[in-house]
Amino acid sequence: MPDDADTCVTLVPIFATLDAEAQLEVAGFARPRRIRKGATLYRQGEHVAQLFVVHQGEAKLTHLRADGHEQVLRTVGPGEVVGEHAFLTGARPDHTVVALEPVTACVFDHRDLGRLTATHPRIAVELLRALSQRLVDAEQRLTTLAGTDVPARLADYLLSLPGRPAEGGIAVVLPMTKREVASYLGTTPESFSRALARLEKDGAIRVSGSEILLTDPDALDARTSAGASRSGGS
């Protein structure tokens, strides 16, 4: 899969700053892997010796808590990377990665990646930069979860999804089950359902299974802003 490997390298920020010759060298170490929908890239607590670059498709990262509940941490799509924390620290992952749809990934063995970072230190710098940005994003998300009500979180989430023009608005599809989206938004399935119903009653959305029509994106945006002044609502 040379073309896919090249695309993976040029898509990913940790490789994108390299010159063309170095990118070609990096692409030579990439191996293709296709993961069917619902399949696992790796599990929480397993030894991970690979870095995965998502080329096509989307996957979710989940954490199994001590009480047995699964928390959705984030999703990753084309150009994003998983497995870098294990490469940098040697620690076993505290999350599981599952394909939400068929995923094509470029895979780098940590051993090969170690050689590449020795030859091209810029890769290690960009890996650290990516982890630092992820920490910033996590802090911002925690602030959002703590400072907005559930309908506002849901409105913001719906606006962040890729949409397509449709009659009466913009159509988006939930990439996860409603229970998983509720977990990602830091709320219960019951509160999520009430927030969904409230937005629909207000005329901002129409719900049809996993597909949601954003009939009034401006109202959703206003809800996001207004929700910042409240917390804990459902």
Q: Tell me: the pLDDT tens digits for 106-142?
A: 899 999 999 999 999 988 888 888 888 888 887 777 7
pLDDT band for 233, please (50, 70, 90 cuts): very low
Looking at residue 232, its pLDDT comes to 43
Q: What is the mean pLDDT of residues 186-215?
A: 95
Lowest mean pLDDT across 6-20, 67-81, 108-122, 207-221: 6-20
Q: pLDDT higher for 12 or 214?
A: 214
pLDDT of 100 over the 90 cut: yes
Looking at residue 6, its pLDDT comes to 66
pLDDT of 192 over the 50 cut: yes
Question: Do strands 103-109 and 31-35 pair parallel, antiparallel, or not at all (unpaired)?
Answer: antiparallel
Q: What are the structure tokens assigned to 147, written together?
A: 């400072």
**DSSP characters for the chain?**
-HHHHHHHHHHSHHHHTS-HHHHHHHHTT-EEEEE-TT-EEE-TTS---EEEEEEES-EEEEEE-TTS-EEEEEEE-TT-EESHHHHHH-PPPSSEEEESS-EEEEEEEHHHHHHHHHH-HHHHHHHHHHHHHHHHHHHHHHHHHHHS-HHHHHHHHHHHS-EEEETTEEEEE-SS-HHHHHHHTTS-HHHHHHHHHHHHHTTSEEEETTEEEES-HHHHHHHHHHHTT--S--
Q: What is the pTM of this model?
A: 0.74
Looking at residue 84, its pLDDT comes to 87
pLDDT of 222 over the 80 cut: yes
